[in-house]
Amino acid sequence: MPEEIEVETTELQEAIDELHKERTEREETEKKSAWTKYIGLTTAILAVFAAVGALRSGSLVNEAMIAQLKSSDKWNEYQAARQKTHLYTLQTNAIIDGALAYPSTSVSKRKGRWSPKSAADRAKEYEAQVSKEEEKSKGLAETAKKFEEEAKHQMHGHHQFAESVAFIQVAIALGAISALTKLKPVWIMSMVIGVLGLYLCIAGLLSSGF
């Protein structure tokens, strides 16, 4: 009788040892894979910045297109002003040359709105128009260049946000792969690429005054 009790106690002790061993192994496995809990958190953060970057990228490209259109309009006005300047200059030179060639030509005096003016008066009017159009063209050129610079700056921001979104999307994809394969190096690579994407996104937000 005592021998049977001793055998049962030995088997029970072996069963307890196996349970302890399984528990220890399970705890070690959970400890090794504890990092996988952070994959969801990092993916969510990256997804937020990816959404913000995509919105800013689309907004900036639209603003750049509008600025470029405004610049084109100003350059068209500039060209029109330069053409007017050229025409007024030709007319002024023609009047001056005609007055020199025919100095005795008289202008019939007639009252009213459409009464003819002397060559000197007309030359002065055309010279005034030339100065006016030159000043106008100078201002138009400066405005057009300003819109061009604005468009370039906004397109640069658009490309920066687009690159940021691309890096973040790659990081999210690698994070999903690491969660499935339980490979920590893949997750580390995901975080490195994600940090680069976050840097570009935050730098773009700061430079655009968001």
Name the nearest CA neighbour of 43 among 207, 204, 180: 180
Q: Is residue 145 assigned to a domain?
A: yes
Here the tokens at position 160 are: 């920066």
What are the pLDDT tens digits along the chain (210 aa)? 444 444 457 766 666 767 666 766 665 655 656 677 888 888 899 999 999 999 999 999 899 999 999 998 888 888 887 787 777 777 776 766 665 544 554 444 545 554 555 666 666 776 777 777 777 778 888 888 899 999 999 999 999 999 999 999 999 999 989 888 888 889 899 999 999 999 999 998 888 766
Is 3 among the domain residues?
no
Amino acid at 121: D
Q: State how far the Cα of 168 lies from the Cα of 43, in Å rounded to an integer.
A: 9
Say if 15 falls within a structural domain: no
Domain containing residue 90:
39-103+115-207
Rounded to an integer, what distance in angstroms lies between the CA atom of residue 210 and that of residue 207? 8
Number of domains in the chain: 1
Position 134 in a domain: yes
Task: Please give the pLDDT value at position 99.
Answer: 56
pTM: 0.64
Please report whether residue 193 resides in a domain. Answer: yes
pLDDT at 74: 87
Query: In angstroms, what CA-CA distances link 138 with 42, 83, 121?
Result: 54, 13, 26
Report yes or no on 28 lying in a domain: no
24 domain residue, yes or no: no
10 part of a folded domain: no
